[in-house]
Amino acid sequence: MTNKYTSSHWGTFRVETVNDQISLHGLPQDDEPAQIAKGWVSAMKNPNARIARPAFRKGWLNGRDHDRSGDAVFVQLPWDEALDITAQELKRVIAEYGNKALFAGSYGWASAGRFHHAQSQLRRFLNTIGGVVGAKNTYSHAAAEVLLSYVTGLPHRMFQDQMTSMDLIAEHCELLVCFGGISARTAQVSSSGTTRHEVTPFLNKAAANGCKIINISPRGRDMNAELSADWIALRPGTDTAFILALAYEVFRAGRADRVFLDTYTQGADAFEAYVMGDLDEQPKTADWAAAICDIPAERIRKLATQMTSSRTMISMAWSLQRGDHGEQPIWAGLALAAMLGQIGQAGTGFGFGYGSTTPVGRSRKLINWPSVPQGRNPIADFIPVARVTDMLNTPNGAYKYDGEDRIYPDAKLVWWSGGNPFHHHQDLLKLDTAWRKPETVIVMDHSWTATARRADIVLPTTGPLERDDIMINRRDDALVYMSAVQKPFKQARDDYEILSNIAARMGTSDAFTEGRTADGWLRHLCEGCAAVGKTEGFELPDFETFKDLGIVTIPNAHETRILMDRFIADPATDPLQTPSGKIEIACQAIADLALHDCHAHPMWHEPVERLGACDPDHLHLISGQPATRLHAQLDMGAEAQASKVQGREPCALHSKTAKRFGLTAGDIVLLENARGACLGGLTLDDTLREDCIFMATGAWLDLQDINGRTICVHGNVNVLTIDKGASDLSQGNIAHTTLVKIRKWTGPLPALRVTGLPVLD
Residue 220 interaction partner, one of Mo ion, ligand MGD, none, beta carbon < 5-8 Å per kind: none
In the bound complex, what is the minimum distance in angstroms from residue 574's beta carbon to ligand MGD?
Answer: 30
Residue 330 interaction partner, one of Mo ion, ligand MGD, none, beta carbon < 5-8 Å per kind: none
Q: Judged by CB, which is closer to ligand MGD: 439, or 469?
A: 469
In the bound complex, what is the minimum distance in angstroms from residue 234's beta carbon to ligand MGD?
Answer: 6
Q: Of 445-453, 566-574, 595-603, 656-664, which segment contacts ligand MGD by CB under 6 A? A: 445-453
119-158 positions binding ligand MGD, by CB under 6 A: 139-140
CA–CA distances in Å: residue 35 to residues 245, 643, 667: 39, 12, 25
Give the rounded distance of the alpha carbon of 91 from its chain centre: 33
User: Rounded to an integer, what distance in angstroms lies between the CA atom of residue 506 and that of residue 83?
Assistant: 10
In the bound complex, what is the minimum distance in angstroms from residue 242's beta carbon to ligand MGD?
Answer: 8
Q: Does 675 bind ligand MGD (CB under 6 A)?
A: no
In the bound complex, what is the minimum distance in angstroms from residue 652's beta carbon to ligand MGD?
Answer: 11
User: Rounded to an integer, what distance in angstroms lies between the CA atom of residue 564 and that of residue 116?
Assistant: 35
Residue 285 interaction partner, one of ligand MGD, Mo ion, none, beta carbon < 5-8 Å per kind: none
User: Rounded to an integer, what distance in angstroms lies between the CA atom of residue 326 and that of residue 349?
Assistant: 20
User: Rounded to an integer, what distance in angstroms lies between the CA atom of residue 463 and that of residue 9?
Assistant: 13
CA–CA distances in Å: residue 205 to residues 171, 188, 201, 302, 560: 8, 18, 6, 25, 16
Do the beta carbons of residue 646 and residue 748 sit within 8 Å?
no
Q: Does 652 bind ligand MGD (CB under 6 A)?
A: no
Q: Judged by CB, which is closer to ligand MGD: 46, or 417?
A: 417
Do the beta carbons of residue 598 and residue 711 sit within 8 Å?
no
Q: Judged by CB, which is closer to Mo ion: 423, or 430?
A: 423
Cα angle for residues 49, 50, 51 (degrees, 5° grid): 125
Q: Of 51-59, 150-158, 566-574, 714-722, which segment contacts ligand MGD by CB under 6 A? A: 714-722
Q: Of 127-135, 564-572, 589-597, 621-629, which segment contacts ligand MGD by CB under 6 A? A: 621-629
Q: Where are the beta strands (DSSP E) in 278-337?
A: 312-316
Contact string 124-143 vs Mo ion (x = CB under 5 A): ----------------x---
Residues contacting 594, CB < 8 A, separation 6+: none
Residues contacting 504, CB < 8 A, separation 6+: none
Q: Judged by CB, which is closer to ligand MGD: 266, or 440?
A: 440
Q: Does 755 bind Mo ion (CB under 5 A)?
A: no
In the bound complex, what is the minimum distance in angstroms from residue 189's beta carbon to Mo ion?
Answer: 9
User: Rounded to an integer, what distance in angstroms lies between the CA atom of residue 116 and that of residue 114?
Assistant: 6
Residues contacting 67, CB < 8 A, separation 6+: 59, 436
User: Rounded to an integer, what distance in angstroms lies between the CA atom of residue 411 and that of residue 710?
Assistant: 27
Q: Does 185 bind ligand MGD (CB under 6 A)?
A: yes
Q: Judged by CB, which is closer to Mo ion: 140, or 162?
A: 140
Q: Which long-range contacts link 508-516 to residues 24+ away (Cβ below 8 Å)?
A: 508/125, 508/128, 508/129, 511/128, 511/375, 512/124, 512/125, 512/128
Q: Judged by CB, which is closer to ligand MGD: 251, or 416?
A: 416
Q: Of 65-73, 183-191, 740-748, 752-760, which segment contacts ligand MGD by CB under 6 A? A: 183-191
25-84 positions binding ligand MGD, by CB under 6 A: 36
Q: Does 300 bind ligand MGD (CB under 6 A)?
A: no
Q: Where are the beta strands (DSSP E) in 94-192?
A: 102-103, 134-136, 175-179
Q: Judged by CB, which is closer to ligand MGD: 495, or 609?
A: 495
Q: Does 718 bind Mo ion (CB under 5 A)?
A: no
State the Cα torsion 471-476-478-482 to the nearest 10°.
-20
Q: Judged by CB, which is closer to ligand MGD: 268, or 444?
A: 444
Give the HSE-up count for residue 408: Cα atoms under 13 Å, Cβ half-sphere. Answer: 19
Residue 568 interaction partner, one of ligand MGD, Mo ion, none, beta carbon < 5-8 Å per kind: none
Q: What letter represents residue 499's amino acid?
A: L
Q: Does 217 bind ligand MGD (CB under 6 A)?
A: yes
In the bound complex, what is the minimum distance in angstroms from residue 427's beta carbon to Mo ion?
Answer: 18
Q: Of 210-218, 361-369, 531-539, 598-606, which segment contacts ligand MGD by CB under 6 A? A: 210-218
721-750 positions binding ligand MGD, by CB under 6 A: 721, 735-736
User: Rounded to an integer, what distance in angstroms lies between the CA atom of residue 740 and that of residue 622?
Assistant: 10
How many positions of this chain bind ligand MGD (CB under 6 A)? 63
Do the beta carbons of residue 260 and residue 237 sit within 8 Å?
no
Q: Judged by CB, which is closer to ligand MGD: 264, or 352?
A: 352
Q: Does 116 bind ligand MGD (CB under 6 A)?
A: yes
Q: Judged by CB, which is closer to Mo ion: 140, or 240?
A: 140
Q: Of 71-79, 277-285, 513-521, 716-724, which segment contacts ligand MGD by CB under 6 A? A: 716-724
Residue 225 neighbours by CB distance under 10 Å: 10
In the bound complex, what is the minimum distance in angstroms from residue 580's beta carbon to ligand MGD?
Answer: 29
Query: Which H or E run contains 526?
Result: helix 518-536
CA–CA distances in Å: residue 715 to residues 332, 680, 698: 34, 5, 9
In the bound complex, what is the minimum distance in angstroms from residue 445's beta carbon to ligand MGD?
Answer: 5
228-267 positions binding ligand MGD, by CB under 6 A: 236-237, 239
Residues carrying an active site annotation: 107, 109
Residue 650 interaction partner, one of Mo ion, ligand MGD, none, beta carbon < 5-8 Å per kind: none
Question: Which residue has its beta carbon closest to ligand MGD?
Answer: 624
User: Rounded to an integer, what distance in angstroms lies between the CA atom of residue 22 and that of residue 34?
Assistant: 17
Q: Judged by CB, which is closer to ligand MGD: 186, or 657?
A: 186
User: Rounded to an integer, what distance in angstroms lies between the CA atom of residue 657 and that of residue 692?
Assistant: 9
Closest CA to 651 of 574, 733, 579, 744: 744
Residue 424 interaction partner, one of Mo ion, ligand MGD, none, beta carbon < 5-8 Å per kind: ligand MGD
Q: Cβ-count burial of 586 within 10 angstroms (0-12 exposed, 13-18 middle, 19+ buried)?
A: buried
**Residue numbers at the binding site for Mo ion (CB under 5 A):** 140
**Residue numbers at the binding site for ligand MGD (CB under 6 A):** 36, 108-111, 116, 118, 139-140, 179-181, 183, 185-186, 188-189, 216-219, 222, 236-237, 239, 317-320, 322-323, 356-357, 417-420, 423-424, 444-447, 449, 461, 463, 495, 622-627, 630-633, 697, 717-718, 721, 735-736
